[in-house]
Amino acid sequence: MQIDIAKSLRAAIRNGKVAIGAKETLKAINSGEAQLIILASNCPERFKRVIRQSNIRTVELEFSSIELGSLSGKPFTISSLSVIDSGPSDIMELREKEISDDRS
């Protein structure tokens, strides 16, 4: 199954609960709330190392932080985000090789 990453991200942000940014993602990991972590391709390596040490499913996208911000409908860069509650979104089905970038 191929999902529309932009649509899924926006639905999760709008109707679910998502921690945006590396620091907020680390807080969600430490509190045990994070269910899925999404990393931009240029997420700082020091955050990637810490995030990857957790036992939480992590997906590194081929999109930069600028593109991830745009896909999320935000006017700023996003290096990482963690899904705490996906709401009605299908974002939890995300797999690295099944990404559709339909930004229309």
Q: What's residue 84's pLDDT? A: 95
Q: Give Cβ neighbours of residue 95 (< 8 Å, ≥ 6 apart).
A: 59
- Candidates 40, 33, 68; CA nearest to 54 is 33
3-4/99-100 β-pairing:
parallel
Q: What's residue 2's pLDDT? A: 65
Q: How confident is the model at residue 95 (pLDDT cuts 50, 70, 90)?
A: low
Which contiguous run of DSSP H or E holds residue 60?
Answer: strand 57-60
User: Would you list the domain boundaries of the chain?
Assistant: 3-87
Q: What's residue 100's pLDDT? A: 41
Q: Is the pLDDT of residue 66 over 70?
A: yes
Q: What's residue 40's pLDDT? A: 95
Report, at the CATH architecture level, how domain 3-87 is classified: 2-Layer Sandwich (3.30)
3-state DSSP assignment of residue 56: coil
Q: Is the pLDDT of residue 103 over 50?
A: no
Instruction: Tell me the per-residue pLDDT of 33-63, one tens digit each, with 9 for 90 and over.
Output: 999 999 999 999 999 888 888 889 999 999 9
Q: Give Cβ neighbours of residue 86 (< 8 Å, ≥ 6 apart).
A: 12, 16, 35, 36, 92
